[in-house]
Structure 1
Amino acid sequence: MKIVRRLGATPRERGSATGQSCPDIFELSDGDFAVIGREATAELDTELPPDAARADYERIVVITRETLLRAKRDIPDV
């Protein structure tokens, strides 16, 4: 598995010049996506709706709204 491309603007283009806040979204060679964001599992785990589940090896990660909106144009329809 390898990173194929970034979706959306770079952190620097979104105003992160210090490296302190660098959420990012990447498309992987197998078609999946990888996300860099703030780990928020403990904070949000009990907030999941009843029909949502998280395996022990999965984490809830938060990215900024701007990160996702700026990636929208790069997310494939299929």
Structure 2
Amino acid sequence: MVKTYPGRASSQDDCGTGIFIKKAINDAIHTEFGTTTEPVSIRIRHMGLPATSLDKGLTLAAAIEDEETIRKLEIEN
């Protein structure tokens, strides 16, 4: 069963059906799987300090991206 919600037919979110897509998807998920009120516990772990400078990592990533861009441009020509 899909609930309908009042909306504007000209809205980009509802495709003229009066059902907002995000709301309809959320309702379908909640109908199928239900909702839970149980608290969620997430374990947090300390990963320590970085083994290398993050600046060097960003420089390396930029260099790799530049090489890939050059390779793609050479293939096109």
Q: Kindly name which structure, 1 or 2, has the bigger radius of gyration based on alpha carbons.
A: 2
Tell me the TM-score normalised to structure 2 length. 0.23
Higher strand share: 1
TM-score normalised to the size of structure 1? 0.23
